[in-house]
Amino acid sequence: MLGLADIITKHLDKGVADIQKNMDGIDFNASGQTKGSLNSEVTEGTGYVRGIIQGAASLEWAETGRPPRTSSEDSGLTSKIYDWMGYRGIGSDLTEKGKQGLARFITLKINRLGTKLYREKRRRDVYSSVLTETVENIRQDIGKELANFTSQQFTKTFK
């Protein structure tokens, strides 16, 4: 009989792989850092088993796009945009100063208006359906294990 942690680990690991596959399918990652940040973790304690899938903060906007900013604090987005431009070859014909200026401009536009995905009110499925399916698969497998365990105990008791 599989333990609860084993069932959860199996399905969360598959969930991570499926999310990464979705990212590849929509060309989500320029650098692969967000995709590489995904992992699952299962912890057991007295009377509980907890499993999570976690990744980079940028996953927050993977499906709906980044909304306009409400804070004027530096979020570090300009350096991320600059790196993104390099991965995508955007502004490769510009001087270093020009690339930095373009990165600042793009950042200001995103901060003011949000990303194109956000502005168009579109949604892309990166992780939502995977998480729904993962939870359902965990629920079904745990139910099967509990049914098997109960049946075995019942059989032992009345033999």
10-52 pLDDT per residue, tens: 999 999 999 999 998 887 777 888 899 999 999 998 888 999 9
> What confidence tier does 152 reach under pLDDT thresholds 50, 70, 90?
confident
Looking at 3-58, list the stretches that DSSP marks H as alpha helix, in order from N- to C-terminal side: 4-25, 33-37
> Are residues 145 and 94 part of one domain?
no
> Are residues 46 and 80 part of one domain?
no
Higher pLDDT, 153 or 94: 94
Q: The tokens of 7 are what?
A: 């069932």
Over residues 112-151, the pLDDT tens digits come to 999 999 999 999 999 999 999 999 999 999 998 888 777 7
Sequence-distant (≥ 6) Cβ neighbours of residue 39 within 8 angstroms = 16, 53, 54, 55
Sequence-distant (≥ 6) Cβ neighbours of residue 85 within 8 angstroms = 91, 99, 102, 103, 106
DSSP 3-state of 56: coil
Cβ–Cβ < 8 Å for 87, 35: no
> Are residues 132 and 104 part of one domain?
no
> Whole domain around residue 73: which residue ranges?
65-119
Judged against a pLDDT cut of 60, whether residue 1 lies above it is answered with no
The confidence score (pLDDT) of residue 37 equals: 93
Over residues 44-93, the pLDDT tens digits come to 988 889 999 999 888 888 899 999 987 777 778 899 899 999 999 999 99
Q: The tokens of 118 are what?
A: 């956000």
> Are residues 132 and 59 part of one domain?
yes
The confidence score (pLDDT) of residue 77 equals: 87
> Are residues 55 and 5 part of one domain?
yes
> Are residues 2 and 59 part of one domain?
yes
The confidence score (pLDDT) of residue 2 equals: 64
Domain count, the chain: 2
> What confidence tier does 159 reach under pLDDT thresholds 50, 70, 90?
low
> Are residues 94 and 130 part of one domain?
no
* pTM for the predicted model, two decimal places: 0.80
